[in-house]
Amino acid sequence: MHNTYLVVMAGGIGSRFWPFSRTQHPKQFHDVMGVGRSMLQLTVDRFRGVCPPENVFVVTNRDYINLVHEHLPELPLDQILGEPIGRNTAPCIAYASYRIAQRDPQATIVVTPADHAVLREEEFRRLIREAVEVARQHPVLITLGVQPVRPDTGYGYIQYMDGAANRLPDSNLFKVKTFTEKPNAELARMFVESGDFLWNAGLFIWRAEVIIDAFHKSLSDIAEVFEEGRDQLGTPQEEAFINEAYSRCRNISIDFGVMEKADNVYVLPADIGWSDLGTWDSLHQIGMQDAFGNVVDGDVLLYEARECIIKTPHERLVVVQGLEGYIIAEHDNVLLICQRSEEQRVKEFVADVKAKKGVGYN
């Protein structure tokens, strides 16, 4: 276990979860599930027994370093890696991987987003341990693939090749055939019905040396940047080097930059009660619904209301009558009332608010 490391990616804003998720306080720092722990805290909790605390690293925007430390006070500041600007997941993972490899060349790394939900945590931990063991033994890039329960157009999909010939020996991992970004409804339905597609959970397991080699092969420009400053990582010169490195790194995801090009990618199918909690609708789907399909977090009285998701301050009484299929979300100085079927427009609302009302609301 002492060679197992966790990298938590916690730099995003989560604008689709507005007004709850804001630039100054993104959703990973909120108690989205209503359980008394933030998404970031729940993420780190989930890996207890898999990875020792001294091997936990969080990569975040520099503006959020103090917030991360507030939520994870047991985490030394040296293990909170601050990005000067957001450059998507590839530079983020490169930074963490090079930093960990500098400390422990034998490291096996688990990379996870900070804002996903997992309801079956024991099964999750079992699968992660299995993947870590396989990654130690084989030079492979492993991703967790979630068994789809509906043809969701909000997730990416992984197609894998079934059968003994495509299975990694002595494991439940299968060779990946294709990655597909968020498909349309018809394609999503075909994927789910085919049985050989999984949701892309954005969670990865690999040895540090294997992912660094993959960067050299597929994103050599990013690899070169971090190779140049390798000796400065973990020293007082790290911050200055990272400033320069990120100015030279392009904005690209690990999926597009590495995973879709590599020929050593394997997926571990998982049934873990997973959601990326990317939208209000995703919270409605995994939340505790009443007899009329409403999910409520707040002091709320409902009359003839159905299929609503309501999240409001507990100190404010909210009365809702006659609404069906609505999002009602209040946080700080913003109240959002929107049809669930129109929730993809939340990003549009945020852009309009920024343009017409200034930055105090986004």
pLDDT at 334: 94
How does the average pLDDT of the chain come out, rounded?
92
Partners of 159 in beta bridges: 178, 197
Torsion of CA 34, 37, 38, 43, to 10 degrees: -120
pLDDT at 344: 84
Task: Return the structure tokens found at 338.
Answer: 């929107």
CATH of region 4-275, choose from 3.30.360.10, 3.40.50.1100, 3.30.1490.20, 3.90.550.10: 3.90.550.10
Q: Within its chain, how far is the Cα of 175 from the centroid?
A: 22
Mean pLDDT to the nearest integer, 320-343:
95
| pLDDT tens for each residue of 179-226 | 888 877 888 888 887 778 899 999 999 999 999 999 999 999 999 999
Mean pLDDT to the nearest integer, 100-109:
96
In sequence order, which residues have a C-beta less than 8 Å from that of residue 2 and are 6 or more positions away?
52, 55
**DSSP category for residue 138:** S
Range of lowest pLDDT (108-122, 154-168, 261-275, 328-342): 154-168
More confident residue, 163 or 91: 91
pLDDT at 1: 64
More confident residue, 161 or 130: 130
d(C-alpha 188, C-alpha 197), whole Å: 9
d(C-alpha 67, C-alpha 28), whole Å: 10
Per the listing, tokens 């689709």 go with 16
Q: Is 146 left (phi over 0), alpha (psi -120 to 50) or beta?
A: beta
Q: In residues, how long is the chain?
A: 362
pTM given for the model:
0.92
Is pLDDT at 144 greater than 70 in this prediction? yes
| pLDDT tens for each residue of 249-298 | 999 999 999 999 999 999 999 999 888 887 888 889 888 999 999 999 99
First to last CA, the chain: 41
What are the domain boundaries of the chain? 4-275, 280-357
| pLDDT tens for each residue of 58-77 | 999 999 999 999 999 999 99
Cβ(295)–Cβ(284) under 8 Å?
yes
d(C-alpha 253, C-alpha 326), whole Å: 33
pLDDT band at 305 (very low <50, low <70, confident <90, very high): very high
Strand residue runs (E) in the chain:
4-9, 56-61, 80-83, 108-113, 117-118, 141-146, 157-160, 174-180, 197-207, 265-270, 274-275, 295-297, 299-303, 309-311, 317-321, 326-331, 334-339
Please report which residue ranges of 104-207 form alpha helices under DSSP H.
121-137, 185-194
* Identity of residue 43: T
Q: Within its chain, how far is the Cα of 225 from the centroid?
A: 25
More confident residue, 97 or 286: 97
Mean pLDDT to the nearest integer, 95-108:
96
Q: Is 110 left (phi over 0), alpha (psi -120 to 50) or beta?
A: beta
Residue 243 to residues 83, 86, 153, 237: CA-CA distances in angstroms? 8, 12, 36, 10
